[in-house]
Amino acid sequence: MAKIQVCDISFSYDKETNAVEHVSFQIEAGSYTTIIGHNGSGKSTIAKLLIDLLEKDSGSIIVDGMELNDENIYTIRDKIGIVFQNPDNQFIGATVADDIAFGLENHQVASEAMEQIIQTYAKRVNMSRYLLSEPTHLSGGQKQRVAIAGVLAMAPQIMIFDEATSMLDPQGKAEINEMIQSIHRETGMTIISITHDIEEVSHSDHVIVMDQGHIVMDGKPEDILLREKELVALKLDIPFALKFTKGLQRKGISCRLCTTMEGAVEEVCRLHSKN
Amino acid sequence: MPITFKELSHEYNLGTPFAYLALDHVSLAIPEGKVTAIIGETGSGKTTLVQHLNALLLPTGGELEVAGRTISSNEKPKHLKALRKDVGLVFQFPEYQLFEETIIKDVCFGPKNFGVDEETAVQLAEKYLRIVGIDESDFHKSPFDLSGGQKRRVAIAGILAMDPQVLVLDEPTAGLDPQGAKEMMQLFSRLNKEYGKTVLIVTHDMEHVLHYCDEVIVVADGHIREQCEVHEFFRSVELLKELKINPPAVIRLREELREKGFQIPDDMIDVEQLIDAVASEVKGHE
């Protein structure tokens, strides 16, 4: 059974226009799903509905076999961790250690046990050296890593990244993207990443494309990313590898269309060595 | 006249135990009438550098010439107001600075501050709101009802309405979606080509540097590490590696293919040319 089943949910901020309208989708356990769409398409609203930070107007959300309602919301929230966009808006503690401890304290974890957990997850995100550092002395990427550690410390089954890299510099972006991938690989956790980064999409298992509160495409990245015209009409990027391999086809080369850079290099080398 | 830095230094918290030298004897000439990218790692001194351009920060050593004025370390600049009219500085996340009841009032704030009468200010505001792509029907709405990208356009219109000769933008596309970012860069390009503005852009996005800028200045540890034309910059892959810069996709592919033995010139930066080169090489093998 799917890890998350969303059935026909709608939500409106102003009770006039729906930010999310009749949306249904499924997320498989252990998958890495990316959700894309231009600003204002409803992506982040979906993330907030999943953890009931916003309350849906209609429809149902089933997480791990449980239908989200007022009684089990806290049980469900324990299963889902979320990392937001702005590194400065989610740093609560006075130090790195305090920040990682925040969720644990809320769950009344014994202080002896807490110490150990903090160490473990600080290490996991390569922040052990900074346990006593204050947020003002950390880069954006480091703050996001601390946010990730705080979420991991709660041992969720699902992690949502809501544009977690969009405010970071290239180095910070690369760090966080690598971290997301390694968490997925090592823990088999279900990952949902809301993103603008088409390269990240090409490395995920499943992509959902949103526009004006609706899901307009849902499938495997290698299929979806080939639908160039639709993506462009939705004001989305298409992978550079696709532009390139399409260009080769236009020149009369019978090459396969690729969505990743590695794929394109491999394909061109294959053609080159043929004969 | 180019913008000229002469041995300019800036030390934060001067004379305290927290003193920190952010710019160290920087000498630099930024050409007029071009789009110049200022790049470098976080903490390298890029923002400190650009904040000198309208005397928001004053040098702690050396001097700078901009828009016909000299700003030096040992004197308070005269005619500061006129300088700030001539050099428009757009901060990171400028949308956080919107404050007025309506969009049009927000954009009028700058010109009115510089002594323009109400009617002219409104005309200027309308002109620049149109240029940045804000719909006329939104002019009298609250700026806080707009999306993030739209808010940023309003904030930029507010600076443009002062009609600066030099436009300085600190990470103007951070946090925007790819399409929003592209439109924003096209806007700066237009302001340069059609309105003759000198544009300086602090950015981390190498695709933007490649497609929209003429010159690159690399700041590293408070020094100018490199200054050259964009084409030249993306030719020297060693330098890019050394600077830990992730090159634009076309350069990454070009380099990967060159490593695999393709005969592609190292100055190729256009995707169509790259396609042509690869196509003819593959065909040659068939």
pLDDT one-digit tens code per residue, A51-94: 999 999 999 999 999 999 999 999 999 999 999 988 888 888 89
Nearest-angstrom CA–CA distance, A90 and A167: 13
CB distance A79 to A29 below 8 Å: no
Task: Extract the tokens encoding B170.
Answer: 């600190």
Whether B13 has its CB under 8 Å from any CB of chain A: the answer is no
Interface list for chain A against chain B, based on CB atoms closer than 8 Å: 38-40, 85, 139-140, 163, 166-167, 169-172, 174, 196, 198, 235-237, 240-241, 243-244, 247-248, 250-253, 255, 261, 264-265, 268-269, 271-275
Residue B193 lies in a domain: yes
Domain with residue B131: its CATH number is 3.40.50.300
For testing contact with chain B, the best of A248, A256, A266, A267 (most B CBs within 10 A): A248
User: Could B260 and A85 be called an inter-chain contact, meaning their C-beta atoms sit closer than 8 Å?
Assistant: no
The string of pLDDT tens digits covering residues B51-109 is 999 999 999 999 999 988 899 987 777 778 888 889 999 988 888 889 999 999 999 99
Domains and CATH numbers, chain A: 4-90+157-235 (3.40.50.300), 239-275 (no CATH)
Q: How do strand A206-211 and strand B215-220 relate by DSSP bridges?
A: unpaired
Residue B271 lies in a domain: no
Sign of CA dihedral A73, A111, A148, A119: negative
Q: How many CB atoms lie within 10 A of CB B73?
A: 15
Task: Extract the tokens encoding B275.
Answer: 């396609």
**Residue A22: enclosing H or E segment and its boundaries?**
strand A20-27
Could you report the predicted ipTM of this complex, rounded to two decimals? 0.80
Nearest-angstrom CA–CA distance, A227 and B27: 49
Nearest-angstrom CA–CA distance, B15 and B264: 54
Q: State the pTM of this model.
A: 0.84
Q: How many independent structural domains does chain B possess?
A: 1
For testing contact with chain A, the best of B186, B262, B282 (most A CBs within 10 A): B282
Residue B284 lies in a domain: no
Residue B49's domain spans which residues? 32-55+77-230
Nearest-angstrom CA–CA distance, B168 and B199: 6
B-chain residues near A265 (CB < 8 A): 253, 256-257, 260
User: Can you give the pLDDT of all 286 residues of chain B as single tens digits?
Assistant: 899 999 999 999 888 888 899 999 999 999 999 999 999 988 889 999 999 999 999 999 999 999 888 999 877 777 788 888 899 999 888 888 899 999 999 999 999 988 899 999 999 999 999 999 899 999 999 998 887 788 999 999 999 999 999 999 999 998 788 888 899 999 999 999 999 999 999 999 999 999 999 999 999 999 999 999 999 999 888 888 888 888 999 999 999 999 999 999 988 999 999 999 999 998 876 5
Residue B229's alpha-carbon distances to A53, A207, B114, B277, in angstroms, are: 49, 39, 36, 23
Residue B245 lies in a domain: no
Residue B201 lies in a domain: yes
Nearest CA in chain B to A40: B147
User: Could A169 and B41 be called an inter-chain contact, meaning their C-beta atoms sit closer than 8 Å?
Assistant: yes
Residue B6 lies in a domain: no
**Residue B11: enclosing H or E segment and its boundaries?**
strand B3-12
DSSP lists the bridge partners of residue A219 as A207
